[in-house]
Amino acid sequence: MNDQSIRSEVILGVDTHLDAHVGAVISEAGKLLGTLSVPADAAGYLKLLIWANSFGCLLRAGVEGTGTYGAGLTRVLRDHEIDVLEVNRPDRSTRRLRGKSDPTDAENAARSVISGSATAIPKTQSGAAEAMRAVSVARRSAVKAKTQAINQLRALLVSAPQEIRERLWKGKPAECVDGCARIRSLGSTPLLQTLTTTLRLLAKRWLMLAEELRTLDAMLDRLTSEHASRLRERFGVGPQTAAVLVAVAGDNPERLKSEAALAALCGASPLQASSGKTVRHRLNRGGDRSANNALWTIAMVRMRSDPRTRAYVERRTKEGMSNKEIHRCLKRYIVREMYPLILADLTDSTRVP
């Protein structure tokens, strides 16, 4: 019999931060065995792993922020065949009762594993879904910056001298930007010289972001066509919405046990709000908001152009449901439709040839 088989199991809990991680080890009986702070780098991760194994056989770990500050540690633990579970930050009532410190949070993370309250499996962040997430993050910021640029440009034109406003103001953003990008001089006064430079810079920023968006859209189109072909075939699903739904599922979608789990993750699962004789559900304001927006977009496209969906909307409207209630129902149905397709697409993309 080897030493590994006779050593008692210990559980590691980790409170993660940008520069340092704090770990706590407890026994199966719940006794705190020790705490340790290590740098958030490769050497620190290995030091924490060796330290935790010195107390016993480490098989499970609870880590806060497995998709952010704890991503690097999560990869190292998985490489050493440690089962990692995502631990949510304690709620405010728990913090008020037990206090707040990094060692305390690390200990609570370990206790949530041993109690069974931590059950979420972290994303692997190693395949096509993570690639789509990275591009989607860049695209969202580019869209926001592009909108800000045209709004700022138009705000300057609104308050500009009348002859400049009449000359450069156009209804279409591209035409307005094109005119501002071409100006050389609006006058010799300090105001007009400054306005010339500012309008030209904002126009060039808009053009640069437009080109950046074309590049990002091409990347999403290629990634989703290759790794989410089944999703792309569905009515109303484009490159952006397909990428967001695949990204929120992750590269290991088997962690989502059912389509109901995906609906909860997207904030599309109705929550019980019943009391006494009143039986009702309310809107779920949790979940990933970008995924919820993707479902909203698909539902909106179908409500406008899909005959089957239009018939459903008409029937539900006659039953007395509001447009918002119908939209919520559609989002839930869309999740049910998309869940097996996401599983199939990601299974194909991760299959070794």
In a domain, 331, yes or no: yes
Is residue 348 a part of any domain in this protein? no
User: 200 lies in a domain?
Assistant: yes
For the entire predicted model, the pTM comes to: 0.80
**Is residue 353 pLDDT above 50, yes or no?**
no
Domain-terminating residue out of 191, 210, 227: 227
Q: Is residue 350 part of a domain?
A: no
Residue 21: CATH number of its domain: 3.30.420.140
Tell whether 237 and 333 lie within a shared domain: yes
In a domain, 353, yes or no: no
Residues 334, 236 share a domain: yes
| Whether residue 248 sits in one domain with residue 221 | no
Closest by CA position to 69, among listed 44, 100, 35, 52: 44
352 within a domain of the structure (yes/no): no
pLDDT tens-digit readout, 105-125? 899 899 999 888 877 888 787
What is the per-residue pLDDT across 136-180, written as a single tens digit (0 to 9) for each? 999 999 999 999 999 999 999 999 999 999 999 988 999 999 999
Is residue 2 a part of any domain in this protein?
no
288 and 200 fall within a common domain? no
Task: Tell whether 243 and 317 lie within a shared domain.
Answer: yes
User: What is the per-residue pLDDT for 93?
Assistant: 58
Question: Are the C-beta atoms of residues 62 and 109 closer than 8 Å to each other?
Answer: yes
> Does residue 300 belong to any structural domain of this protein?
yes
Gap between the Cα atoms of 62 and 81, Å rounded: 14
Indicate if the pLDDT at residue 261 is higher than 70: yes
pLDDT band with cut points at 50, 70 and 90 for residue 303:
very high
Are 157 and 239 within one domain? no
Out of 115, 141, 169, a domain closes at 115
Assess whether 28 and 107 both reside in one domain.
yes
Residue 220 shares a structural domain with residue 282: no
Residues 237 and 135 in one domain: no
Beta bridge partners of residue 83, listed in sequence order: 60
Residues 223 and 242 both lie in one domain: no
**Structural domain count, the chain:** 3
- Model pLDDT, residue 91: 59
Domain extent at residue 147: 128-227
Residue 175 shares a structural domain with residue 260: no
DSSP string for residues in 73-121: HHHHHHHTT-EEEEEPPPPHHHHHHH---HHHHHHHHHHHHHHT---BP
Same domain membership, residue 136 and residue 110:
no
Distance (Å, rounded) from C-alpha 214 to C-alpha 212?
5
**Maximum Cα–Cα distance across the chain:** 91
